[in-house]
Chain A
Amino acid sequence: MSAHRTARGGRIERTRKLRFSFDGTAYEGLAGDTLASALLANGVHLVGRSFKYHRPRGILTAGAEEPNALVTVRRDAARETPNLRATQVELYEGLEASSQNCWPSLGFDLGRVSDFLSPLFPAGFYYKTFMWPRAAWAALYEPLIRRAAGLGRAPSRPDPDRYAQRYAHCDVLVVGAGPAGLAAARAAADAGARVILCDEQAEPGGALLDGGSAQIDGLASGDWLARECAALLANPGVRLLSRTTAFGYFPHNSVGLVERLTDHRADPPAGGARERLWQVRAREVVLAAGAIEQPLVFAGNDRPGVMLAGAAQSYLRRYGVRAGTRAALVTTTDAGYLAALDLHAAGVAIAAIADLRPSASALWADAAKRADIPVLAGATVNGTRGSRRVTGVTIGGRTLACDLVLMSGGWVPSVHLFSQSRGRLTWSDAARAFVPSQSAERERSAGACRGLYGLAAALADGAAAGLAAAKACGLAGIAHRHEVAGEEASREASGAAPREPAAGTGKAFVDFQNDVTSRDLALAAQEGFRSIEHVKRYTTVGMATDQGKTSNLNALGLVAARLGRTVPEVGHTTFRMPYTPVTFGTLAGSARGELFDPVRTTPMHDSAVARGAVFEDVGQWKRARFFPRAGEDMHAAVARECRAVRSSCGIFDASTLGKIAVVGPDAAEFLNRFYVNDFSGLAAGRCRYGILLREDGFVYDDGVIARLAPDRFHVTTTTGGAARVLAMMEDYRQTEWPELAVWLTSTTEQWAVIALQGPEARRVLETLAPGMDLSSAALPHMAVTHGRIAGVPAMLFRVSFTGELGYEINVPAAHGRAVWEAACETGGQRITPYGTETMHVLRAEKGYIIVGQDTDGTATPDDAGLAWAIGRKKPDFVGKRSIERAAMRSPDRRQLVGLRTREPQCVLEEGAQLMDRPGVTPPMRPVGHVTSSYASEALGHSIALAMVAGGRARIGQTLYLPMPGGEIEVEVTKPLFYDPEGARLHG
């Protein structure tokens, strides 16, 4: 047995030894240990290097608030978890842990040089030092800083574990299973409430796990704990969740819990979830989150071996570990005395008790004296000694040798969840802390988390809160009374405000995790920061992953003193979720890889796959981008597909287009009010190109609208716009024009759409649909008819997005693939499948815009060259009033034009900026930008579309694109490159 381990006591299993390693060295611990207690049992205090100065750091606390002892635990290359608090890592056989933020080793870290150069790194040094030259920030400073100042490394391989997610509903959620939480859960459950009780530790009990001599209801506290847990577990209405942290409090009593299922096991079961996210919706919440012990601010308070007194007491009582052989206590509480006396009784020599309060409690001073411990009342700590472990502490100018310094700075209520719930905090002089005052949710705090310390008080408060919560759920219960005998000195508030250490005594840390010293805070105040939120951002105090659990209040006290104000006057910063870090895996759950987002495929998808199509993502859709043949790259494939459409016939899957059936006696009136176009004159069997504006006058969507019958329209939208156009239609239908009799139905997925485009399209279709009259007289451009195609009832549109003779065959989705295959077979050599890339080139050759590519939410119909579509005689339509504003008709607005490069094969970059003069250098004001750009196979040169200020008046002029490879000259043209008369369309 290790010399640091006591002979008996605690909640460890002394016969179950566990081997583990830290930084490659093998150690032995016991079942029931945390990594921190096991390291201390082996005399290991140096466990990490600090964030900014790389100072040696040890274990400060015994719980979730640990700011220093952050380690990486590794199971294999993919299962490597950084930044775990050693105080929360449960030991298992074979555990491999390592320190972080040090190089080449924990003992000798070159980064420590930053500690000695620290005058260069004051508060806000990022902002002050790394300003110039500007370009060096991204290239040099930021990578350097990120490497030097950091925490653990993320694993390099994908996370192989599974993460579960569950929703749960309950009457009463109790957060924290200490005495208050247990009493609350019991009271609520006995009243018949459905209760969820969660606690972050391996077992319920909270402070009771530290044992002690108090008796509850006539039982030793450990026996009482066992009895209560058994009673709760026996109640089918209670769910008791251990290793479960409530990390976030969301509106309407929605609380996020993360349950760690396997991290404590030596051999996690295969296939089981590693962690589970619980999204709990509680009718009532009881917060029993306890309180957090605070460090004291003095020079050298961060050396390994300087530890919170209550933490050292926990290590002794719960884990049977003496954290040192000779200790000194620095305290502002009576509770600190009890810790020191505890350690003294367990064989730890106590060099002295330095009580920073002006007057020590006579009772406790006497007790110390009886144990021959010198008490230095009203003392000042000048500093500590030692490098990788504390070797002495200087109190009132006298240095005492010791290997453990205990700090007892009092407890602060854990109000994190309460504050996240948007409850209002108020300053309590008695608790010397902010405590919950007004709840925003159906919630109540109980026990230490509202500044009520002591076992009896916690039990009474918890029981009352649990009963009140049950009553608020409409249940009746009786008040539980718990008798406490032999209560020990309880947790308590600090007996003194934090004091700024004298200048020149070395660094006194306030925020251990972010390496913020008392001097940094003083500097911030001196530099004029007044708001605590600004001080926080400037110094980064309280901004580390520990959320300032051990630093916020000390920082507030020091800043308030500097500003000559009280702490409540200064106020507090915002508490944010998560309470402790949550893995990405837990938040993502099963929404990763293929399940991250639904994938939508068209009815013809498998056929395109079989033909070797390369796909692109368009929203959730997979669309065939091009169909390469052997040896072809995208450029060659697209060129071939373009030639095929212009010379013969192409076949294209347009099924992803949004489709909305607009039906009813007022369907035409509805569309008249909604789209810019006039539909009153549109005969059944004819189509019109429709443009939809937002009410602010900018183009929102476009598509072909067909009138199938006087009261029935088939509206198509862009692929990406389908859902939002339907939502906008529903908005106007339901809320602005409820008097119109019209019904809207999404039919996007009901129809498969096959486009046949090219001079041979009619001949291919004639063979496919022998019974249909496809002549231009019967079915002119922009007409629609019904018939059987490949034996399937179909709706046939004569429309074109290529400028060629074109048809779009709509068949019920289930028949899509069969009709597609039939068309390909019928077409034989004449027919070529083409993808979205070719579609883009062909439409750009014709100057057909794509909403969202050529327009960007600031384009009016006139800007996009579409003013012709507007129904001039209509008194009103969505967006009409806006496009009549003078600014919307200014001739200087950016207008759609074409561009031709002087060098014909030069393909411009989409998004490139256009200048009206050559050779300009920044700062410069572009006159426009390129929106679409392609190599045109049909024309043998490149083409581009652009939005250019006053563009239509610039046709024939030269513009200039300053590009990294040199300036490019372009000529402004009409946005129409191919077949300007449109003869092919009507062929």
Chain B
Amino acid sequence: MLIIPCPYCGERPEIEFSYGGQAHLVRPPRPAELSDEEWACYLYVRENPRGRHSERWRHLRGCGRFFNAIRDTTTDRIAATYRVGEPPP
């Protein structure tokens, strides 16, 4: 079980969190202007890195807030967590 540092609450065990997939995907402001390919890319195309991955977590059974984390997918080490809207460190 991971220990995840919530930027609002501090270190908590993984069972308090829910995973939210890749971070920094912004919903296009005007989806109607996108081609099918562009929209499909937004919907489905995700990174699958071996190593550093920016991803969303939500402290579901805590403060309830979403935040972003940088986790190494090979070691599960979490290099940093930061609030929504902040740039990755």
Contacts and interface: CB of A to CB of B under 8 A. Distances in A.
A281 B3 contact: yes
A373 B8 CA distance: 73
A440 B36 contact: no
B13 to A, nearest CB: 8
B32 A738 contact: no
A422 B39 contact: no
A607 B76 CA distance: 50
A881 B39 contact: yes
B20 interface: yes
- Residue from A251, A254, A886 having most chain B Cβ neighbours under 10 A: A251
Given A252-B1, A882-B43, A734 B34 contact: no
B32 A885 contact: no
Nearest to A251: B76
Contact of B34 (A441, A735, A881): A881
Contacts of B30: 875-876
A731 B20 contact: yes
Contacts of A250: 1
B2 interface: yes
Contacts of A875: 30, 32
Interface in B51-83: 56, 58, 60, 64-66, 74-76
Nearest to A696: B43
A727 B34 CA distance: 27
A379 B14 CA distance: 57
Given A251-B76, A422-B75, A735-B84, A881 B31 contact: yes
A730 B58 CA distance: 10
A210 to B, nearest CB: 37
Nearest to B3: A252
- Residue from A695, A727, A731, A734 having most chain B Cβ neighbours under 10 A: A734
A727 B56 contact: no
Contacts of B36: 885-886
A876 B2 contact: no
B2 A730 contact: no
Contacts of B58: 727, 730-731
- Residue from A727, A735, A736, A886 having most chain B Cβ neighbours under 10 A: A735
A876 B2 CA distance: 38
B87 interface: no
B85 A738 contact: yes
Nearest to A250: B1
Contacts of B43: 695-696, 882
A344 interface: no
A900 interface: no
A727 B75 contact: no
Interface in B12-58: 18, 20, 26-27, 30-32, 34, 36, 39, 43, 56, 58
Contacts, number: 55
A880 B31 contact: yes
A422 B76 CA distance: 10
Contacts of B64: 730
Interface in A841-884: 875-876, 880-882, 884
A281 B30 CA distance: 47
A695 to B, nearest CB: 6
- Residue from B26, B31, B36, B56 having most chain A Cβ neighbours under 10 A: B31
Contact of B66 (A254, A696, A731): A731
B34 A440 contact: no
B67 to A, nearest CB: 9
A734 B3 contact: no
B65 A881 contact: no
A422 B32 contact: no
Contacts of A734: 65-66, 84
Interface string A878-896: 0011101110000000000
Contacts of B74: 422, 440
Contacts of B34: 881
A881 B32 contact: yes
Contacts of A730: 58, 64, 66
Nearest to B44: A696
Contacts of A441: 75
B10 to A, nearest CB: 15
A887 B33 CA distance: 18
Contacts of B2: 251-252
A577 B20 CA distance: 27
A251 B74 CA distance: 11
Contacts of A736: 26-27
Contact of B1 (A251, A738, A884, A886): A251
Nearest to B84: A735
Nearest to A697: B43
A279 B1 CA distance: 10
B53 to A, nearest CB: 14
Contacts of A281: 3
Contacts of A735: 56, 66, 84
Contacts of A885: 36, 39
A279 B3 CA distance: 13
A254 B11 CA distance: 14
B66 A876 contact: no
A899 to B, nearest CB: 34
Interface in A244-298: 250-252, 254, 279, 281
Contacts of A279: 1
Given A440-B75, A727-B60, A876 B1 contact: no
Given A727-B18, A731-B20, A738-B85, A882 B66 contact: no
Interface in A375-429: 422
A673 to B, nearest CB: 10
A281 B14 CA distance: 13
A881 B35 CA distance: 10
A135 to B, nearest CB: 39
Interface string A677-698: 0000000000000000001100
A668 B27 CA distance: 20
A731 B31 CA distance: 18
Contacts of A884: 32
A145 B65 CA distance: 53
Nearest to B78: A252
Interface string A721-754: 0000001001100111010000000000000000
A441 B65 CA distance: 28
Contact of B84 (A252, A254, A738, A882): A738
A196 B86 CA distance: 40
A734 B36 CA distance: 27
A884 B1 CA distance: 42
Nearest to A875: B32
Contacts of A695: 27, 43
A731 B3 CA distance: 22
B32 A252 contact: no
Interface in A703-731: 727, 730-731
A826 B63 CA distance: 45
Nearest to B65: A734
Given A422-B74, A440-B75, A881-B32, 6 more contacts: A252-B1, A730-B58, A735-B84, A736-B26, A875-B30, A881-B39
22 contacts: A251-B1, A251-B2, A252-B1, A281-B3, A422-B74, A695-B43, A727-B60, A730-B58, A734-B65, A734-B66, A734-B84, A735-B56, A736-B26, A738-B84, A876-B31, A876-B32, A881-B32, A881-B34, A881-B39, A885-B36, A885-B39, A886-B36
List 10 tightest A-B contacts by C-beta distance, closest first: A881-B31, A251-B76, A440-B75, A252-B3, A734-B66, A736-B27, A254-B1, A881-B39, A252-B2, A735-B66
